[in-house]
Amino acid sequence: MYNLFAFCATRKTVCRRAATSRLMVGFRKWYYNACGFNRLGLMRDDTINEDSDVKEAIRRLPEQVYNDRMFRLKRALDLSMKQQILPKDQWTKHEEDVHYLEPYLEEVVHERKEKEEWAKK
């Protein structure tokens, strides 16, 4: 029987993959902080450009998630107008950033594509 992990048997290969993985995680954290939205208390999904699919996904959010999003956006606008940022202990951390909009957005896009397929028939 074919062993799927036979090519990873050497310790050298495993160490290289772990190092590459750590490097990518470090780069992701650096990039996340370099973007700057976390300094305003925003999450990644708060910064998505609102097209029709995103607007529908936002409409489908549970009330508490929607209210939290609106609070973050209003606070960010206020800070931006004052040309200020949050204290560092209030910045959104990479580990705390939840992609709360993604499941709803994927559902909306799937439904739109399904409707387009039905319209073709």
Angle at which helices 102-120 and 52-59 pack, to 10 degrees? 120
Over pLDDT 90: what percentage of the chain?
64
- The predicted pLDDT at position 19 comes to 62
- The predicted pLDDT at position 103 comes to 95
- Is pLDDT of 88 > 90? yes
90 φ, ψ (degrees, to nearest 5): -105, 0
Pick 70 or 10 by higher pLDDT. 70
